[in-house]
């Protein structure tokens, strides 16, 4: 029997964390220990691949037999022998371990452009990328297109920066192309620092050559011979695979002197960032590469005119650059066929929070939030009610449940006080307190403020102080108006995007969830039952059995009562730890 068999094992960060390396070893052991040559010939190959997107189902394993794909989920090493015996040798997939309908629903409405090869190519093997038309776009550009023609294609595609601001990529390249300077640079911004965001990391881990190829095309377009990938050191797997990819690209002549005999020379260096969120801002990133403290500077001049070491510099994020080779190969009109009139193409999001199906998704611009949450995400966990969706990371806004029909694009999200940002998307349910959510994001941005400008340094601190007071039950009349006034001052006067967008969670929650602020301030009550200082635990007489379990776990001795009699919580002693609430089996304790 002469069959072609390929086994792809998810070895992204999620896959490895779930045990991908052990699963790989188990397959290696089984394949070498069995006399498989007579059964499946020698055409059986084992590959490590990057993130498949549905990280919650790792370890994901694809088994492809003569072109027929079976995907297995939650695979452990001890499951491998049966897959080899029954599927590879016997020809019958192990259906009970194969993915079910919800896995297919997760992918049905996605459109993979940037992520098309993640989960297919081996990120540590350049030949795997080349077999998927890798570096064909770079060859086309270097051998048959002028820089101006290349820029025109990117402009016509409508590609906008995927790092947050959404500035047209072709326009930025054209600015740098026309700028005067002895040397020009292109920088890939891989300093992804949003809480819960893992888009750029997954792209580099899963398909680093797509980013390198995008940088080659961008460098040729603007006339740069040097490039940098600025990536945070907390991404060790991405850094390792990027280094391997750069070395392989140099060996093949795709980087270095006279690339592909085109007369164009270009090479890339890696610069490790120390994890400062503000270094995602382009001028702070430039300062960090130059060896200075990562702090933004005033603009203009913009980096395209005066950037790294005072020379014209283009900075694009990972996802933007990974789009470029596909656009060159398939054409501007093909890419522009996805999305909306002003927001073309697709966008990668990290879907997290209180949604059943979390993971990495890529969707066409213009898809509704509702489709993402309910069709791709599978709805809200535990059948609770959707409360809000926060888009754009800590700088984004919170969009209420009654607005989930809104299309996801740059203009629509901006109109409701949020942003696309780099692609964070956090789903919240009825158990979330929106005042506490605003405080959470302000804690992050205030801690990450570089401190250079007063509006951000002091403004975010004062906003956070007010939010803490409110959530601790010390809110005062006028606090909401003070938050609004201070937020607008911080937005209008801050030097860089961090300070200009930091108040978004505050303003959006004040706009859409004002009743929760009023309950905290005037009624000294947290409707969601989250803010500890505003909670009151009471025992419901009709449910209490007098079992004494609550009294036994109370660290403050605040619960009194005889066995088999109704108990009572002494409010003056209660420390509101919630131990009684968690312990009671009869639901006799009310939190509110």
Would you state the structure tokens that stand for residue 171, as one six-digit string? 């326009």
pLDDT digits (tens, 9 = 90+) for 36-74: 544 454 578 899 999 989 988 999 999 999 889 999 999
pLDDT of 378 reads 95
Cα 394 to Cα 404: distance, rounded to the nearest angstrom: 19
**Does residue 265 fall inside a structural domain?**
yes
Give tens-digit pLDDT for 140-161.
999 999 999 999 999 999 999 9
Shared domain check, 143 and 235: yes
State pLDDT tens for residues 119-142: 899 999 999 999 999 999 999 999
Tokens of 339: 């999305």
The reply to whether 405 falls in a domain is yes
CA distances (Å), origin 370, targets 249, 295, 394: 42, 38, 21
Q: Decide if 350 contacts 372 (C-beta within 8 A).
A: no
In this structure, the number of other CB atoms found within 10 A of the CB of residue 47 comes to: 19
Q: Which two tokens stand for residue 395?
A: 């700088």
CA distance 529 to 591: 7
What is the mean predicted confidence (pLDDT) over 342-357? 94
Are 107 and 119 a contacting pair, CB within 8 Å? no
Grade residue 2 by pLDDT with cuts at 50, 70 and 90: low
Angle at which helix 169-178 crosses helix 147-157, to 10 degrees, equals 150
Please state, as a whole number, how many other Cβ atoms lie within 10 Å of the Cβ of residue 257. Answer: 12
Is the predicted pLDDT of residue 3 greater than 80, yes or no?
no
- Cα distances (angstroms) measured from residue 216 to each of 183, 514, 542: 16, 49, 72
The token duo for 552 is: 């036994």
Q: Is residue 106 in some structural domain?
A: no
Q: Residue 572: give its domain's CATH number.
A: 3.30.70.20
Same domain, 256 and 375: no
CB atoms inside a 10 Å sphere around CB 205? 27
Cα separation, 293 vs 365, in Å, equals: 36
Residues 466 and 388 in one domain: no
First to last CA, the chain: 68
354 and 498 both lie in a single domain: no
The whole-number pLDDT of residue 34 equals 63
Chosen domain end from 372, 394, 429: 429
Nearest to 516 by CA among 410, 398, 406: 398
Instruction: Please check whether residues 293 and 157 belong to one and the same domain.
Output: yes
Helix (H) or strand (E) run with residue 89 in it: none
Q: Is residue 462 part of a domain?
A: yes
Indicate the angle between helix axes 504-512 and 479-493, nearest 10 degrees: 140
- Residues 88-104 have pLDDT tens digits of 988 899 999 999 999 99
pLDDT higher than threshold 50 for residue 32: yes
Structural domain range at position 555: 535-591
User: Tens digit of pLDDT for each residue in 553-575?
Assistant: 999 999 999 999 999 999 989 99
Residue 113 lies in a domain: no
Q: How far apart are CA 550 and CA 170, in angstroms?
A: 65
In the numeric block, which tokens belong to residue 287?
């300062």
Partners of 65 in beta bridges: 5, 68
Q: What pLDDT is recorded for position 37?
A: 47
Element (H, E) at 520: helix 514-522
Q: What is the pLDDT of residue 395?
A: 85
Q: Say how many domains are in the chain.
A: 5
The count of other CB atoms within 10 Å of the CB of residue 108 is 10
Residues 59 and 25 in one domain: yes
Local confidence band at 275 (pLDDT 50, 70, 90 cut-offs): confident
Q: Is 118 exposed, middle or buried (0-12, 13-18, 19+ CB in 10 A)?
A: buried
Say if residue 322 is in the same domain as residue 282.
Answer: yes
Read off the pLDDT of residues 192-226 as tens digits, 9 standing for 90 and up. Answer: 878 778 899 999 999 999 999 999 999 999 999 99
Nearest to 384 by CA among 349, 327, 430: 430
pLDDT tens-digit profile of 439-480? 999 999 999 989 899 999 999 999 999 999 999 999 999 999
User: Which pTM was predicted?
Assistant: 0.91
Residue 61 φ/ψ, nearest 5 degrees: -130, 125
Last residue of a domain, one of 522, 543, 562: 522
Domain shared by 356 and 305, yes or no: no
Q: Got the DSSP string for 466-493? A: HHHHHHTT---TTHHHHHHHHHHHHHHH
Give dist(CA 515, CA 511) in Å, integer.
Answer: 9
Q: Kindly state whether residues 78 and 165 are assigned to the same domain.
A: no
Query: For residues 306 and 32, what is the distance between their CA atoms, to the nearest angstrom?
Result: 58
> CA-to-CA distance for 297 and 564, rounded, in angstroms?
69
Q: What is the mean pLDDT of the chain?
A: 93
CA distance 365 to 411: 11
> Which DSSP string corresponds to 227-262?
EEEEEETT-HHHHHHHHHHHHHHHHTTSSBSSGGGS
149 token code pair: 């023609």
What is the rounded average pLDDT of the residues 364-390?
A: 95
- Among candidate residues 237, 230, 246, 86, the one with its CA nearest the CA of residue 163: 230
Q: How far apart are alpha carbons 251 and 245 in whole angstroms?
A: 10
CB 447 within 8 A of CB 380: no
Answer whether 120's CB lies under 8 Å from 48's CB: no
Residues 147 and 276 in one domain: yes
Q: Which of 305-309, 315-319, 415-419 has the lowest mean pLDDT?
A: 415-419
Lookup: tokens for 254: 């795709």
Instruction: Give domain status of residue 118, yes or no.
Output: no
Do 472 and 394 have their domain in common? no
Within 10 A of 119 (CB to CB), how many other CB atoms are there? Answer: 24
Q: Is the pLDDT of residue 409 over 90?
A: yes
Question: Tokens for 542?
Answer: 């009709």
Count the neighbouring beta carbons within 10 Å of the beta carbon of residue 300.
8
Domain closes at, from 498, 522, 546: 522
Same domain membership, residue 180 and residue 274: yes
The answer to whether 138 touches 126, Cβ cutoff 8 Å, is no
Cis peptide before 237 (omega within 30 of 0): no
């Amino acid at each position: 029997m002469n069959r072609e068999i390929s086994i792809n094992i998810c070895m992204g960060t999620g896959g490895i964390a779930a045990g991908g390396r052990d699963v790989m070893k188990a397959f290696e052991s089984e394949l070498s220990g069995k006399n498989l040559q007579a059964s499946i010939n020698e055409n059986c190959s084992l590959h490590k691949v990057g993130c498949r997107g549905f990280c919650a189902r790792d370890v994901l394993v694809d088994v492809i037999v003569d072109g027929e794909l079976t995907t297995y989920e939650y695979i452990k090493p001890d499951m491998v022998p049966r897959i080899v015996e029954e599927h590879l040798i016997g020809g019958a997939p192990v259906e009970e371990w194969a993915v079910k309908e919800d896995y297919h629903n997760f992918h049905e409405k996605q459109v993979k452009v940037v992520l098309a090869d993640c989960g297919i190519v081996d990120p540590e093997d350049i030949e795997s990328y080349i077999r998927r038309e890798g570096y064909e776009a770079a060859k086309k550009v270097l051998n048959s297109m002028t820089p101006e023609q290349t820029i025109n294609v990117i402009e016509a595609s409508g590609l906008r920066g995927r790092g947050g601001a959404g500035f047209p990529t072709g326009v930025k390249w054209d600015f740098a192309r026309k700028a005067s300077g002895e040397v020009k640079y292109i920088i890939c911004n891989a300093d992804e620092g949003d809480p819960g965001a893992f888009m750029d990391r997954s792209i580099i881990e899963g398909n680093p050559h797509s980013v390198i190829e995008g940088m080659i095309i961008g460098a040729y377009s603007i006339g740069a011979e040097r490039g940098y990938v600025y990536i945070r050191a907390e991404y060790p797997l991405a850094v390792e695979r990027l280094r391997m990819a750069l070395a392989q690209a140099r060996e093949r002549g795709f980087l270095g002197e006279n690339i592909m005999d085109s007369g164009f020379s270009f090479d890339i260096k890696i610069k490790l960032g120390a994890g400062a969120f503000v270094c995602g801002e382009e001028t702070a990133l430039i300062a960090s590469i130059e060896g200075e403290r990562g702090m933004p500077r005033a603009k203009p001049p913009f980096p395209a005119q005066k950037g790294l070491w005072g020379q014209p510099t283009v900075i694009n994020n990972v996802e933007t650059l990974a789009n470029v080779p596909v656009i060159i190969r398939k054409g501007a009109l093909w890419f522009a066929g996805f999305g909306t009139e002003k927001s073309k193409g697709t966008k990668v999001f990290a879907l997290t929070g209180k949604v059943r199906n979390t993971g990495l998704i890529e969707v066409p611009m213009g898809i509704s939030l509702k489709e993402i949450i309910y069709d791709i995400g599978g709805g809200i966990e535990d059948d609770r009610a959707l409360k809000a969706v926060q888009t754009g990371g800590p700088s984004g806004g919170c969009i209420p449940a009654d607005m989930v029909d809104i299309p996801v694009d740059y203009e629509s999200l901006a109109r409701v006080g949020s942003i696309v940002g780099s692609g964070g998307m956090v789903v919240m349910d009825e158990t979330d307190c929106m005042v506490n959510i605003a405080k959470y994001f302000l804690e992050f941005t205030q801690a990450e403020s570089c401190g250079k400008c007063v509006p951000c340094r002091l403004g975010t601190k004062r906003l956070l102080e007010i939010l803490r007071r409110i959530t601790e039950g010390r809110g005062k009349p006028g606090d909401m108006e003070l938050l609004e006034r201070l937020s607008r001052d911080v937005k209008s006067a801050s030097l860089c995007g961090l300070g200009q967008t930091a108040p978004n969670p505050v303003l959006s929650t004040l706009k859409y969830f004002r009743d929760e602020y009023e309950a905290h301030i005037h009624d000294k009550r947290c409707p969601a039952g989250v803010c500890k200082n505003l909670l009151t635990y009471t025992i419901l007489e009709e449910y209490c059995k007098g079992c004494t379990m609550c009294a036994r776990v109370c660290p403050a001795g605040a619960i009194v009562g005889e066995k088999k009699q109704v108990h009572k919580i002494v409010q003056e002693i209660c420390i509101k730890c919630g131990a009684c609430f968690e312990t009671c089996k009869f639901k006799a304790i009310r939190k509110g």
